[in-house]
Amino acid sequence: MMEELFVSGRHIEHIDPTLTLWGGPIAIYLFLGGLAAAILIFANFFFLMGKADKYVMTVKVSTLIPPVIIVIGLLLLVADLHHKLYFWQLLLNFRIESPMSWGAWTLSFIMIPAILWPLIYMKDIINYLSDRNPKCRLLKTLSWIDGMANKFKIVRMVIELATKYQKLMAYITIVLSLILGVYTGILLSAFNARPLWNTAILGPLFLTSGISTGAALLMWMSKNHHEKILFSKFDLVLIAVEIFLIIHLFMGMKAGSQVQVDTASLFLGGQYTAFFWVGIMGLGLVFPAVLEILELNRFNIPSWLPALFILLGGLAFRFIMVYAGQFSSYNIL
């Protein structure tokens, strides 16, 4: 065993002056968490609006995605942990002041409706997919899942109970999804020692970005023209809000202490400037917004194009926030 003696709190490897603990898996985890939350929000919202049969892709089919990407995100999170075999201890303790604790419990609870929701609509989902593509490889798997769910009495009873109280489940799921979307930003903002992350805007910003990526994905997946147009309009509003929050983030830093001013300079002439303003703000937000405006004005723009840029921009945004946040500190600039 190697023993180290720290005589100072400064220049500790991996912690000071720069934090080098989190990498790509955490950025992808945050992206998938926000995307799953957005899909569940839209699905449950339009169900409560009585649009389940009108917007089949949104309310029924798309709900196959959240449980899968939540599990992928959790696997990435566990893979990034130093003591991987002890991750389950987060689920045995709850600390109200810990964002990680809130996240672990929210993810645990939200998996219940995330799994039950597509099971309620499984036959509708199978019919929808088979009508559009009888050779879809997913149909065999979905049919097997539906058969297994009907095979066990306890599973049938749970699905029937969920169907009976589906409206109540929808309200609860929306609340849990909003918490999950905000949590992806609060997880970072809890690190007070990193100036870029130490802001209350990060939670609403990550939530807005996540909902925007969800709207973009649903716009891409839907075959219903009215559904596509609706989500295109939703996304334009969300992009405008996201740009407003980003500008407000930098305005707050420029009006803050010297450390915050120096942190903002990372994106205003510093090493992250080109990637952020060209790659994320330009190609990830402004460019797809222009394409969506053209599409709404009856220009022949394929819906997958702006959706792809929004999704890539949302992922890139989380990468730059994770890496730039760890680089920012109170002493290196």
CA-angle at 319, arms to 87 and 255, nearest 5°: 110
pLDDT tens-digit readout, 155-198: 899 999 999 999 999 999 999 999 999 988 888 887 777 888 88
Q: Distance (Å, rounded) from C-alpha 201 to C-alpha 247?
A: 11
Evaluate whether 178 touches 110 at the Cβ level (below 8 Å): no
Hey, how many other C-beta atoms are within 10 angstroms of the C-beta on 15? 15
- Spell out the long-range contacts of 136-142 with Cβ–Cβ below 8 A and sequence spacing 24 or more: 142/64
- Spell out the long-range contacts of 255-260 with Cβ–Cβ below 8 A and sequence spacing 24 or more: 259/195, 259/330, 259/333, 260/195
| Structural domain boundaries in the chain | 24-327
DSSP state at residue 279: I
Query: Checking phi first, is residue 298 left (phi over 0); if not, alpha (psi -120 to 50) or beta?
Result: left
Contacts of 145 (CB under 8 A, 6+ apart): 119, 122
The CATH code belonging to domain 24-327 is 1.20.1630.10
Q: Distance (Å, rounded) from C-alpha 138 to C-alpha 61?
A: 12
pLDDT tens-digit readout, 17-75: 555 677 788 899 999 999 999 999 999 999 999 999 999 999 999 999 999 999 998 88
State the pLDDT at residue 1: 44
Evaluate whether 195 touches 328 at the Cβ level (below 8 Å): yes
Hey, how many other C-beta atoms are within 10 angstroms of the C-beta on 125? 24
- CB-based burial of residue 184 (10 Å sphere; 0-12 exposed, 13-18 middle, 19+ buried)? buried
Q: Distance (Å, rounded) from C-alpha 238 to C-alpha 210?
A: 10
Lowest mean pLDDT among 51-65, 132-146, 211-225: 132-146
Mean pLDDT of the chain: 87
State the pLDDT at residue 104: 77
76 vs 238, residue with greater confidence:
238
Contacts of 320 (CB under 8 A, 6+ apart): 272, 275, 276, 280
